[in-house]
Amino acid sequence: TWDTVPLAPPDSIFQLTAAYKADPFPQKVNLGVGAYRDDDNKPWVLPVVKKANEFLLQDPNVDHEYLPILGLPEYTTAAAKLILGPESPALRETRAVSVQTISGTGANHLGALFLSRFYTWDGPKQVYLSNPTWINHFQIFRNVGIEPLTYPYYDPKTIGLDYEGFLDSLRTASPRSVFLLHACAHNPTGVDPTKEQWEKIADIVLERKHYVFFDCAYQGFASGDLDNDAWAVRYFVERGISLLVCQSFAKNAGLYGERVGALHVVAPTKQAADRVRSQLAVLQRSEISNPPAYGARVIALILNDASLFEQWKEDIKTMSGRIIAMRKELHRLLSEELKTPGNWDHIINQIGMFSFTGVNATQSKALTEKAHIYLTTNGRISMAGLNTKNIRYFAENLDKVVRG
Ligand code: LMR
């Protein structure tokens, strides 16, 4: 048995974590997975999460019963408000469906599965993904029989947005195509459209009647402001665009391993929302029955308590602020101190957890092999892996590989 099972390669992101852990070199640096680290390179339990933990420990009503199939209601309701905005027409008109999911990956999967089953496809089941995108998107859609295609997004010449190429794909894709858009802090490039560019994107999406599949894994990480980072999603909802949103609290609450996320489907009417909800409940039941309770309880406490919510915003500023400081320092080291050939302004122009450095696969491999610096071969670095102690080591080695 199993003689015919082909050997799959290890996951390109998580294999870096494993290789880094196994490496005994003292100055090793992990810039692979997008997980926040403090200035001592330690995972950071947010102070607000510690407080919420204390409340939960003391709460005599906490038990280990099943959550409802669609999740903890005080969590999903608050999570919807956080992303769609408390004044969202979709919430006012009770036409948003919110389901608790196994983090952002689970939201992507459930959203994709739902579309695969129920979207009225005019032709083959296809989704347009940005080129590049989070590598996992490809297999998530393939798993449910939706073929991924790509649209131009990143321009290596400018290390910025290929705006014209992007618009062109929106214009030429057949009407009612499904486009996956990163709501903010694009992974892996750190390049987001401006508000004016989003407006134009929305115009064409409406004209062509495309369906938008928003992935929002980094709310708060792009600008440090939760509302600002939800701008594109809220704007698209206001424009009446058909869409769904995948949400994750892995990064912005540091709850990676608790797998707390949500899928929000914005339907045109309450009646449509009721039908969508009923089918999502059937899908969820067959896949996971009931979502896990712990992370949802933590987030529900934080979102529904004014003082915890304020504290959370401060914690997000701590994380995004440290990342911005690292961007500035890396930029200074490369462009001023080491005078590394090339223009490094993209390091400070890109936002969110990642920077797309522009180094190629050979240079990236050289960084790993010669300097024990772990990054994906597309040149993406997780800015959170840099700190005041290792940034010079990284910059000097980057300088070396760039000079060849
Ligand atoms: C990443 O892109 O590094 C993160 O989103 C972690 C993951 O699940 O890949």
Q: List pLDDT tens digits, range 217-253.
A: 999 988 899 999 999 999 999 999 999 999 999 999 9
Q: How many CB atoms lie within 10 A of CB 179?
A: 24
Q: Is the CB of 132 under 6 A from ligand 1?
A: no
Q: Is the CB of 13 under 6 A from ligand 1?
A: yes
pLDDT digits (tens, 9 = 90+) for 243-294: 999 999 999 999 999 999 999 999 999 999 999 999 999 999 999 999 999 9
Q: Is the CB of 30 under 6 A from ligand 1?
A: no
Alpha helix (H) residue ranges in 333-390: 345-349, 361-371
The answer to whether the CB of 193 falls within 8 A of the CB of 161 is yes
Q: Cα–Cα distance between 323 and 321 in angstroms, integer?
A: 5
Q: Candidates 12, 20, 33: which one to mutate for ligand 1, based on the most atoms within 8 Å of Cβ?
A: 33
CA of 35 to the centre of ligand 1 (A): 8
Sign of CA dihedral 402, 182, 154, 316: negative
Atom of ligand 1 nearest to the CA of 105: 8
Report the first-to-last Cα separation within the chain, whole angstroms.
48
- Spell out the residues 6+ positions from residue 30 whose beta carbon is closer than 8 angstroms to its own: 16, 17, 20, 374, 382, 385
Give the residue numbers marked as catalytic.
134, 215, 251
Residue 158's pLDDT is what?
Answer: 87
ipTM rounded to 2 decimals: 0.92
Q: Is the CB of 34 under 6 A from ligand 1?
A: yes
Element holding 273 (H helix, E strand): helix 270-287
pLDDT digits (tens, 9 = 90+) for 38-57: 999 999 999 999 999 999 99
Which CATH code for domain 73-304? 3.40.640.10
Q: Is the CB of 187 under 6 A from ligand 1?
A: yes
CATH H-level, domain 14-45+320-403: superfamily = Aspartate Aminotransferase, domain 1 (3.90.1150.10)
Q: Domain map of the chain by residue range?
A: 14-45+320-403, 73-304
Atom of ligand 1 nearest to the CA of 34: 3
pLDDT digits (tens, 9 = 90+) for 126-170: 999 999 999 999 999 999 999 999 999 999 888 899 999 999 999
Atom of ligand 1 nearest to the CA of 217: 5
CA of 252 to the centre of ligand 1 (A): 13
Total-model pTM: 0.96
Q: Cα–Cα distance between 158 and 290 in angstroms, integer?
A: 46
- Spell out the residues 6+ positions from residue 85 whose beta carbon is closer than 8 angstroms to its own: 91, 227, 230, 234
14-45+320-403 and 73-304 agree in CATH topology:
no
